Chain A
Amino acid sequence: MYAIAAFVIAFVVIESVFFIVKAWKRGRELGISKETLKNTVFSSILFTIAPALSILTTVIVLASALGIVLPWIRLSVIGNLAYETVASETMLNVFGSSLSTEITDPAQFGAVAWVMTIGTSFALVLLPIMCKTIQIRVGKAVHKSEKSSAAADVISAAAFIGIIAAFIARAIYGKTPDGVGDAGFMSVCTLVTAVIVSLILETLCEKFNLKKLAPFAMPLSMFAAMGMAVVLNLVVPEAVSSFTWWG
């Protein structure tokens, strides 16, 4: 089982290294400075630490029912916090079981592995067919708008903001299927802290020309907001800290 995990993880790492090397070479050809490329690497590592710890938590949570290897494989490749939990729980419910109990039947274990894989692999079938066409159509649309006006920048920013808006809206009024992390006092305070700290750090970077701090402003703001969630949970009365729109 560990050999399977090692094989899958090696595949992911080799693919990532392959694309990084090709992109790095192309970046240098395009005149992107080594400093910019290095900053991208370091800020991406820092950015990844906290979410990766959260993913590790899911591996450990799922491990109580599925053992450590299958969740480890699934969340190292293609997997996702929500998908893996829902897929395994759905399969186990068919057997009259759930993730709250350890699976001891090998047939059930195999069934969970199949449902996780088939459920989440469809994007890998779609990508080779659709990715190039989508990129060409979007490229043409952007090119057309660049020719007619300066609207491309606004449209591009609007698309980014659309993604972020979904998560902001969830922090304001979202509900999770398991009730953990529902929107309410804590989610809004964490969100507001992240926004305020990020704005302060960005302003400081601009005002004092702190070029080396700038790439780390975002991850530092995220850690500050996570710290605020811990502090609020300790100092605010439980009736307030546990308030959500969903009771």
Chain B
Amino acid sequence: MRDNNTAALSPYYNKVHTWGRLWSVGALIVLLSVPTAICTYLGVWPDASSVFKALVKVIPIYWITAVVEVLTYTPMLGAGGTYLSFVTGNIANLKLPCGLNAMENAKVKANSEEGEVISTISIGVSAITTTVIIAVGVVIFAPVLGKLTDPDSVFSPAFTYILPALFGALGAGYFRKHWKISFFPIVVGVVVLLFAPTLAVGTLIFVTIVASVGGALLMMKFKLV
């Protein structure tokens, strides 16, 4: 007998979730094998209490952020895009804007099967491109790139301000089409940063999405959009 979750999705979505679960478990095993292999190769294992001291500081931030990110990114990226993004990493600064841009260009919605397809292809291509660039860069360009991005380099500001460049370019199209609902979440984001300027971006995204969707619903209620 099929469970409610299985019945509520199309066969393609159900397959994607089956593949995604298997790949996620596989990725977890591969990831855990890295420190295991390193310690075996070096013939030394770290002191558990020291590792625990660091984990106590890191886990509360990272694990809460992980919950928020899974809740936030899954509706945006679709199933395939989400499974791929969380394995390949660099979501907020690369996979998310890349997937959003691809869906915008293809004129498809995130919660449609077409959006699922475009998002998955975009994020998969982005992951392979990143892997190739890092691999080639490490082998060939490492000495040159170090000079390019050195704080004294003339090109350094291009990399320092890459996120405003990336999200300004991505946001322009949305702001033009939906300018009435765009101001409120930005203002909320700035106000939050006034009180917590170093707030982690994963948490800030959650706040601005709630503000944006809430603001849009209110404006619709009062027939302003």
Q: Which residues in A have their C-beta under 8 angstroms from that of B26?
A: 11, 15
**A-B contacts, 6 listed (Cβ < 8 Å):** A22-B16, A78-B89, A124-B87, A127-B83, A169-B193, A230-B157
Choose among B87, B109, B154, B217 the residue that contacts A12 (Cβ–Cβ < 8 A).
Answer: B87
Whether A138 lies near B114 (C-beta < 8 A) is: no
Whether A156 lies near B109 (C-beta < 8 A) is: yes
Whether B121 lies near A128 (C-beta < 8 A) is: no
Number of residues of chain B lying within 8 A (CB) of chain A = 159
Whether A19 lies near B57 (C-beta < 8 A) is: no
Q: Which residues in A have their C-beta under 8 angstroms from that of B70?
A: 123, 126-127, 130-131, 134
Q: Which residues in A have their C-beta under 8 angstroms from that of B90?
A: 51, 55, 75, 79-81
Identity of the chain B residue whose Cβ is nearest the Cβ of A196 in the assembled complex:
B172
Any chain B CB within 8 A of the CB of A171?
Answer: yes
Determine how close the nearest CB of chain A comes to the CB of B87; give it in whole angstroms: 6
Q: Which residues in B have their C-beta under 8 angstroms from that of A121?
A: 28, 31-32
Interface string of A184-202 (1 = CB under 8 A from B): 0011101111111111001
Q: A136 vs B75: C-alpha distance in the bound complex, in angstroms?
A: 9
Whether A59 lies near B169 (C-beta < 8 A) is: no
Determine how close the nearest CB of chain A comes to the CB of B80; give it in whole angstroms: 5
Interface string of A143-173 (1 = CB under 8 A from B): 0000001011111111111111111111111
Q: A123 vs B5: C-alpha distance in the bound complex, in angstroms?
A: 21
Any chain B CB within 8 A of the CB of A65?
Answer: no
Q: A47 vs B209: C-alpha distance in the bound complex, in angstroms?
A: 24
Q: Which residues in A have their C-beta under 8 angstroms from that of B105?
A: 39-40, 43, 214-215, 218
- Residue from A77, A130, A246 with most neighbouring chain B CB atoms (10 Å): A77
Q: A139 vs B83: C-alpha distance in the bound complex, in angstroms?
A: 17
Q: A119 vs B67: C-alpha distance in the bound complex, in angstroms?
A: 13
Interface class of chain A by DSSP:
helix
Whether B207 lies near A44 (C-beta < 8 A) is: no
Whether A111 lies near B157 (C-beta < 8 A) is: no
Interface residue tally of chain A, by bracket? 35 or more
Identity of the chain A residue whose Cβ is nearest the Cβ of B162 in the assembled complex:
A54
Q: A118 vs B93: C-alpha distance in the bound complex, in angstroms?
A: 21
Choose among A53, A86, A116, A162 the residue that contacts B205 (Cβ–Cβ < 8 A).
Answer: A162
Determine how close the nearest CB of chain A comes to the CB of B194; give it in whole angstroms: 6
Q: Which residues in A have their C-beta under 8 angstroms from that of B142?
A: 60, 63, 68
Chain B stretch 137-165: residues in CB contact (< 8 A) with chain A:
137-138, 141-142, 145-146, 149, 154-165
Chain B stretch 165-184: residues in CB contact (< 8 A) with chain A:
165-178, 181-182
Determine how close the nearest CB of chain B comes to the CB of A157; give it in whole angstroms: 5
Determine how close the nearest CB of chain B comes to the CB of A13; give it in whole angstroms: 6
Whether B62 lies near A120 (C-beta < 8 A) is: yes
Any chain B CB within 8 A of the CB of A50?
Answer: yes
Task: List the 4 closest pairs (A to B, CB-CB), nearest first.
Answer: A169-B189, A194-B168, A162-B209, A162-B212
Choose among B38, B58, B101 the residue that contacts A113 (Cβ–Cβ < 8 A).
Answer: B38
Whether B102 lies near A60 (C-beta < 8 A) is: no
Q: A54 vs B201: C-alpha distance in the bound complex, in angstroms?
A: 17
Q: Which residues in A have their C-beta under 8 angstroms from that of B125?
A: 16, 20, 40-41, 44-45, 48
Any chain B CB within 8 A of the CB of A99?
Answer: no
Q: Which residues in B have their C-beta under 8 angstroms from that of A140?
A: 8
Q: A138 vs B125: C-alpha distance in the bound complex, in angstroms?
A: 26
Any chain B CB within 8 A of the CB of A101?
Answer: no
Any chain A CB within 8 A of the CB of B45?
Answer: yes
Determine how close the nearest CB of chain B comes to the CB of A246; give it in whole angstroms: 7
Determine how close the nearest CB of chain A comes to the CB of B12; give it in whole angstroms: 5
Whether A78 lies near B88 (C-beta < 8 A) is: yes
Whether A37 lies near B75 (C-beta < 8 A) is: no
Identity of the chain A residue whose Cβ is nearest the Cβ of B146 in the assembled complex:
A60
Identity of the chain A residue whose Cβ is nearest the Cβ of B165 in the assembled complex:
A225
Knowing A68-B138, A91-B54, A162-B209, say if A16 contacts B171 (CB, 8 Å).
no
Q: A233 vs B153: C-alpha distance in the bound complex, in angstroms?
A: 11
Whether A122 lies near B66 (C-beta < 8 A) is: yes
Choose among B43, B137, B210 the residue that contacts A59 (Cβ–Cβ < 8 A).
Answer: B137
Whether A110 lies near B169 (C-beta < 8 A) is: no
Chain B stretch 95-142: residues in CB contact (< 8 A) with chain A:
96-98, 100-102, 105-106, 109-111, 113-114, 116-118, 120-131, 133-135, 137-138, 141-142
